[in-house]
Chains A and B, each alone.
Chain A
Amino acid sequence: MVLQILFIAIALAGVALFSYNLKKVIRNIRIGKAANRTDQPQKRMMTMVKVALGQTKMFFRPIPAFLHLIVYAGFVIINIEVLEIMIDGIFGTHRVFGGLGALYNFLIASFEILALGVWLGCAIFLVRRNIIKLKRFSGVEMTSWPRSDANYILITEILLMTAFLLMNAADAKLQAMGAAHYTAVGSFPVSQFLMNLLPNTEGALIAIERGCWWFHIIGIFGFLNYLPYSKHFHIMFAFPNTYFSNLEPKGEFSNMQSVTNEVKAMLDTSFTPPEPDGSKFGAKDVNDLTWVNLMNAYTCTECGRCTSVCPANITGKLLSPRKIMMDTRDRLEEVGKNIDKTGNGFDDGKSLIDTYISREEIWACTSCNACTQACPINIDPLAIITELRRYAVMEESQAPASINTMLGNIENNGAPWKYSPADRLNWAKES
Chain B
Amino acid sequence: MSEQLNFEVPTMAELLAKGEEPEILFWVGCAGSYDERAQKTTRDICKILHHVGMKYAVLGTEESCTGDPAKRAGNEFLFQMQAMTNIEVLNAYNIKKIVTGCPHCFNTIKNEYPGLGGTYEVIHHTQLIQDLINDGKLKAEGGESFKGKKITYHDPCYLGRGNGVYEAPRKALEVLDAQLVEMKRCKSNGLCCGAGGAQMFKEPEKGNKDINIERIEEALETQPEVIAASCPFCMTMLRDGVKLKDQDQNVQVLDIAEITARANGL
Contacts and interface: CB of A to CB of B under 8 A. Distances in A.
Interface of A: 60, 248-253, 255-256, 259-260, 262-264, 266-267, 281-282, 309, 311-312, 314-319, 360, 363-370, 373, 386, 388-394, 399-400, 402-403, 405-407, 410-411, 414-417, 419, 421-428, 431
B64 A393 contact: no
15 contacts: A250-B163, A251-B162, A253-B112, A259-B77, A260-B80, A262-B77, A263-B84, A367-B72, A389-B74, A393-B75, A400-B203, A415-B30, A417-B30, A427-B32, A431-B2
Contacts of B82: 410, 414
A347 B228 CA distance: 53
Nearest to A406: B201
Interface string B119-154: 000000000000000000000000000000000000
B211 interface: yes
B43 A427 contact: yes
A317 B208 CA distance: 7
Given A370-B191, A394-B77, A318 B206 contact: yes
Contact of A364 (B157, B195, B204): B204
Interface stretch (B4-12, B174-182, B240-248, B249-257): B4-12
Given A366-B192, A406-B198, A419-B34, A312 B207 contact: yes
A266 B203 CA distance: 33
Given A410-B70, A423-B34, A425-B11, A403 B198 contact: yes
Contacts of A248: 111
Contacts of A410: 65, 67, 69-70, 78, 82
> Interface of chain A, helix or strand or loop or mixed?
helix
A428 B198 CA distance: 27
B163 A249 contact: yes
B81 interface: yes
B201 A405 contact: yes
Given A260-B116, A263-B77, A373-B188, 4 more contacts: A253-B72, A316-B206, A367-B72, A410-B65
B73 A403 contact: yes
Contacts of B195: 366
A315 B61 CA distance: 39
A248 to B, nearest CB: 7
B76 interface: yes
Given A252-B107, A255-B80, A369-B161, A317 B205 contact: yes
Interface of B: 2-5, 8-9, 11, 28, 30, 32-34, 39, 42-43, 46, 58, 60-61, 63-65, 67, 69-78, 80-82, 84-85, 107, 110-112, 115-116, 157-158, 161-164, 185, 188-192, 194-211, 213-215
Nearest to B162: A251
B194 A366 contact: yes
A263 B213 CA distance: 40
Contacts of A403: 73, 198, 201-202
Contact of A317 (B28, B30, B189, B207): B207
User: Which of A266, A311, A319 is the most central at the interface, judged by chain B CB atoms within 10 Å of its CB?
Assistant: A311
Contacts of A386: 72, 74
Contacts of A259: 76-77, 80
B69 A406 contact: yes
B61 A421 contact: yes
Contacts of A369: 157, 161-162
Contacts of B84: 263-264, 267
Nearest to A395: B74
A260 to B, nearest CB: 6
B211 A424 contact: no
A317 B197 CA distance: 15
B196 A415 contact: no
Given A256-B76, A281-B76, A373-B161, A368 B64 contact: no
A385 to B, nearest CB: 9
Contacts of A424: 28, 33-34, 60-61, 63
Nearest to A428: B9
Contacts of B72: 253, 367, 386
A411 to B, nearest CB: 6
B59 to A, nearest CB: 8
Given A315-B208, A406-B69, A414 B197 contact: no
B60 A407 contact: no
A387 B90 CA distance: 29
A390 B112 contact: no
B61 A425 contact: yes
Contact of B75 (A388, A394, A402): A394
Which 3 pairs, one residue from A and one from B, show the smallest C-beta to C-beta distance? A251-B162, A389-B74, A367-B197
B266 to A, nearest CB: 15
A364 to B, nearest CB: 4
B205 A312 contact: yes
B186 to A, nearest CB: 12
A365 B205 CA distance: 9
A367 B196 contact: yes
A416 B81 contact: no
Given A415-B33, A417-B34, A393 B74 contact: yes
Nearest to A282: B74
A407 B73 contact: yes
Contacts of A262: 77
A74 to B, nearest CB: 29
A136 B32 CA distance: 39
